[in-house]
Structure 1
Amino acid sequence: MATTYDVSASRQTFAPVRLGLSLLANYRAALRERHERRQLRARLSDLSDMALHDIGISRGEIDYVAANRDVDPRGVQSAR
């Protein structure tokens, strides 16, 4: 008894699985990013006004800094 498999059919079967896994990975990354933003916001909120001044931000900029971690609110470019 010979059994044959159609390879083209299996590619079509795996495409929705890959899409589902990709969506789950994107969702997990978004949750992780949200969690990190919330942690950063909480840590910055716990600092005194003097400590915030030392790192160059004001209390009113905490939400902006937490949401835009890659952007320096002072406009200083890092020397990478």
Structure 2
Amino acid sequence: MSRIYGTTEPVPAATRRPVYSPLEVYWEAFQEWRKRARLRRQLCQLSDSELIDIGITRGEIDYVASHPSIDPTGCRSR
């Protein structure tokens, strides 16, 4: 007979589970690439004044799409 001395806390569904297969790693990389391509396409469709409103220029679109965690206003020199 076994006894359980501690309780396990439920894990939130949103937590990422560890990746075990190379196929999953490639799939996640592909999904990230698609997300960056979609962002780049959406930013390219904006007018120059709309881009200035959000704080970037047309020349910074590739940089912003490739580095989503970086603030685009920090890369502009004034």
C-alpha distance after superposition, 1:18-43 (max 9, x if no partner): xxx52011000000001001000000
Moved runs in structure 1, 4+ residues, more than 4 A?
A: none
Q: CA RMSD in A?
A: 0.9
The normalised TM-score by structure 2 is 0.67
Distance 2:43 2:24 in 1: 29
SS at match of 1:71: coil
Match of 2:55 in 1: 56
Runs of 5+ unmatched residues, structure 2? 1-19
Report the Cα distance in structure 2 between the residues aligned to 1:56 and 1:74, rounded to whole angstroms.
6
- Of Structure 1 and Structure 2, the greater helix share is in 1
1:35-65 deviation line (CA, Å, top 9, x unaligned): 0010000000000000000000000000000
Which residue matches 1:39? 38
Equivalences, count: 55
Find the structure with the greater CA-based Rg: 1
TM, length-normalised to structure 1: 0.66
Q: Confirm whether residue 22 of structure 1 aligns to residue 37 of structure 2.
A: no
